Structures are given as C-alpha cells and as structure tokens.
Structure 1
Amino acid sequence: MSGTDAGRAITGAGLSALGYHILLAAPRGDGHPVLVLPGLGAGDWSTIVLRRTLHHLGYAVHGWDLGRNRGPTADVIEQVPQRVASLADRFERRVSLVGWSLGGIYAYAAARTHPGLVRQVITLGSPVRMTHPAQTRAMAYYRWNAHRHVPERLLPPSEWDQPPLKMPATSILSRCDGIVAYRASMLPPGANRANIAVMSSHFGLGQHPAVLWAVADRLAQPEDDWRPFRPPLMLRMLFPTLPELAGEAVRTR
C-alpha cells in the first residue's frame, strides 16, 4: 500500500472527467432503489459523483443521511438496516447496496439482516475479507473514534467467518489502493460472486470511470439472471487481470 493515495485520487478525478462521455454508453437502470454508503471519515458528499451518475442512468439513488462515517456507532448499526427496510417498503422493490470501504462492511451487515429485501451488494475497496489490522491504513482513525462505537459484542461478525451472501455480491478492488490491501477485498470464488480489478486509488474509487462502469453494469443485471462481468472492448485496458483472479478470467465481449 502506498501513502500517495490522495494524490492519485486527484489524477483519477481528471480521468473521470475525461471519461464521462464513455459512461453515456453505460447500461441504463430499471428504476430500482440503490443505497450508497460512504467510507470511514467520509459522508454523502464523498459519493456525489457516484450517486449522480447512477441517478442519470435511471436509478432511485439515496445517500445514507447519517453525516460523517465515524465507524460503527449506535446510529449506524441501527439505522442502516432500517434505511434498507424503509426503501424496500417505499418502492416495493428490493434494494441494491453500494458500499465504499467501511461502507461495504455496513452493506454486508444490512444484507444479512434483511436478505429478502436486498437485491445485490457491491463494494468498493472494502476489506470484507480482512484478517489483520495491518491490511488497512485506516485503523488509526477507526481507533481514534472507538469511544463512539457500540460495544464489540454488538458488532456484526467478521465476514471471514460467515457463509456467502444469498444475493449476488461484487467486490471492486484495486492493486493501486493505498489504504486497503486489495487481497483483503477479494471474495472467494463462487456462484453469484465476482471480483473486478480496476486501476484506481482508494480515494478515487467513487469517481473513476472504470468503477462507475462496473457499478452500472452490475446494477443493470436482471434481478433473477445475474451474470459474470465482461467489460466492453473500449474499456478493457481499465480492467487489469490479477494473478489471484486467474480463475475468474474476464473476457471481452
């Protein structure tokens, strides 16, 4: 992991601006509700590009409305699952969850709380398979806010010890991630699960064109006909193949 992640995020923002026209060709949405959860230390302001993109593609997109993400506070633990249930009831459709970094951990927890209300889970640089604190550079900030968190016994169990989610799950990860070790984001092979590698900084994941395309592609999958990710030829170079993902080799259309 590198300490230059923030600087590379600025470069990624420029790439996003240059690649915006490419997203005009992205798969269109079907109007189902999408809840976007920010990473540690961030709030809904950090997901504006991602949410606006999905809104323009035709989804009913919602931020989490819980201010800055300071870790697993009582409000987070209680209200994220409640938000999922509320959106599912309001739209009378299952909700897709998109979680960035720690937001992805919340997304998994909410999906396990309400498996019948969640359509799919997509994570961006989320350490869903983390086995050691050294796999993330965010641990100092997390511990600094520990006094705000619920007792450890109330935290959701580690995903490492859990069976696979019942709904489709996608992990978008980057070997260039300077905050979360990409191996901590890798899902084990299995039906309705996918790892999609991109070339982005951690802080740039929410605005990188490859990430935006991958999220749009996954959200556009028919509700009961989820298929493996295959990037379009024009974006193939933005989706590197990692040796660890050799068993999930991605083919172009």
Structure 2
Amino acid sequence: MASAAMDFSTSTDTPAAKPPNRFWTFAEGRAMFELGAFYASRPMLSTLPKGDGHSVLVMPGFMASNSSTVPMRNLLSDLGYDAHGWDSGRNVRINEELIDRLETQISRVFRDSGRPVSLIGWSLGGVLAREMAKMHPDKTRLVISLGSPITDDRNHTNAARLFHFFNGDEPDRLRGGQFQGLDIAPPVPTTSILTKTDGVVHWRGSVQCPKKTSSDHPTENIQVYASHCGLGVNPSVMIAMADRLAQEEGEWMPFEASPSYSWMFPKLSIDE
C-alpha cells in the first residue's frame, strides 16, 4: 500500500513564507480540465466507499459561493452522505456575523442528525472549518481542508492583498482570540489535502506539522496532482475525501491509497 504520510526526517529549517511561483498561478486555468475529468470519471467515482449517512458541511473558498461546491456535494449525496452547502453566501469577510451563522448552522445540522458533522473546506473555507471545529469539537466528526492557508502568515498566498482589502489588517477576532494560531489543528481528526502546483496558496502553507497536535487527535497531509481552483473537483481529491469520510466514527486511521490509485498520491517531502 502506498502511504501519503509526510517525511520530516531531514527537515531542520522552515523556509520563509512566500506565495506560489507565478507559473502555477498563470496555469490555474487547467482547473477546467480537472472539471472535465471529474465528469468523465463520475461513474467510477460513484463506486467509491459508501457513507453511513452522517452529515457533511462543505465551505467554499475565498470569493466563492455554494455554486463552486455543487459537484462535490452531489457526489457526496450519491455516496450516501447528508451533504450541505453553507448558509453564508459568498465567502468574503471573516466577521462575527459569519461566525454566528456558521455556529447556528453546525448546531442545527448536529441537532437534526443527532451525530457529529464532518466539515470540508476549500481554501479559506478550510481555515473556517478548522476554526469552527476548535470552537465546537463535540459537534465535529472530522475536518478535511483543500489547499487551505493554515498558517497565520498570509505571505503564503497571493490572495493576501485582496483578503486585506475586504478584511483589513486584523479581521474581526471576537470569540476571545479565535482565528489565531491557525497552524494548530483542531481536537478532531484533521486531513489537509494539498498540491505542490497550487497557484494561489503555496503548498508549504497547507502542511500540518504533527508537533502542533495531540496524538489523541491525529492529523495528516495528502498530496495530489491538482491546481488550486481544481481541488474541489479533482478526481484524486474525491477518492481521498471519500476514503476519509467512510471511516467508522472513532476509528480513524491514516490514509493509504489502494494500489490502483497510488500513482495519484505522491509521498509528500518538505525538503524541496
């Protein structure tokens, strides 16, 4: 079995934060091919491990809305999950109103289903998913982030200026200091899916370090071949995501790709 585990064995220094190479930014248009691959492989994706019916809440990326996550949510529904988009419109401002709406929605879904909710977030949506899981770990089953800048240093993304335009130097950080220490994982199993050809968030900004979490609340990094804008439809992401969600509650294990899919998941090394 090919493991997607991360190799920290020879890493001693953390490189200075920087945005992705411009080549990958200009190449983000390849997401259209990933969307085509998603629909071409849809019959195969429908055969992925089925879910147990628990609720999954999907949060879109910065400047995006629920429409961007429709393909993913439709697949999750077909696999047997109770898939939800968020109730918060376009993901632009991080303020108290947004946090209130997310807390209300998560609490409602949790109450209606009677079970913890899995949170999936794309880019900035993944940051929100992690922070909501920190605030409500009792209502959260697991977290999956897709190309998310899980660091307090905004220099990892080339969307920093646009984010600053809408949110200022310091977004509303009510809730007693929430949204600080973004690199600290929530106290639930947490998966970061990332790509080294991300043209929006430098891949290093999406890496979870095991030193930042408890052994009781495991984290993992899964590398795929994808663009940033294609992460929400890339077939390899769907395969990894379905595998993570299909685990029995309380029986989380690190991701291992099956032999037929192992080529999609290169081992992640940070010594590059």
State the TM-score, normalized to the length of structure 2.
0.83
Q: Output aligned runs, 1:195-210, within 5 Å.
A: 195-210=221-236
Post-superposition Cα deviations, 1:167-225, rounded to whole Å, max 9, x if no partner, equal 10000000011000111111112642110000110000000000011111101111011
SS at match of 1:145: helix
Alignment partner for residue 219 of structure 2, among 147, 170, 193? 193
2:46–2:78 CA contact under 8 A, matched in 1: no
Unaligned runs of 5+ in 2: 1-19
Alignment partner for residue 47 of structure 1, among 69, 75, 79? 69
Pick 1 or 2: higher relative contact order, CA cutoff 8 A, min separation 6: 2
Letter in 1 for 2:253: R
Letter in 2 for 1:6: E
User: 1:159: Cα distance to partner?
Assistant: 3.1
- Distance verdict in 2 for CA 1:146–1:160, change over 3 Å: closer
1:92 aligns with 2:114: yes
Query: Which residue in 2 is equivalent to 1:110?
Result: 132
Post-superposition Cα deviations, 1:208-243, rounded to whole Å, max 9, x if no partner, equal 000011111101111011011111222211111122
1:5–1:177 CA contact under 8 A, matched in 2: no
Supply the RMSD in Å over aligned alpha carbons.
1.9
SS at match of 2:187: coil
SS at match of 1:15: helix
Q: Output aligned runs, 1:56-205, within 5 Å.
A: 56-128=78-150, 130-146=151-167, 151-152=172-173, 156-160=178-182, 162=184, 164-189=185-210, 191=215, 192-205=218-231
Q: Output aligned runs, 1:24-39, within 5 Å.
A: 24-39=46-61
Letter in 1 for 2:172: P
Q: Distance in 1 between matches of 2:136 and 2:98?
A: 15
Q: Distance in 1 between matches of 2:244 and 2:179?
A: 26
SS at match of 1:122: strand
After the TM superposition, which parts of structure 1 deviate over 4 Å for at least 4 consecutive aligned residues?
152-155
Query: Which residue in 2 is equivalent to 1:217?
Result: 243
SS at match of 1:175: coil
Query: Which residue in 2 is equivalent to 1:8?
Result: 30
Unaligned runs of 5+ in 1: 246-253
2:127–2:182 CA contact under 8 A, matched in 1: no
Residue identity over aligned pairs, in percent, reads: 37
Greater displacement, 217-226 / 150-159: 150-159
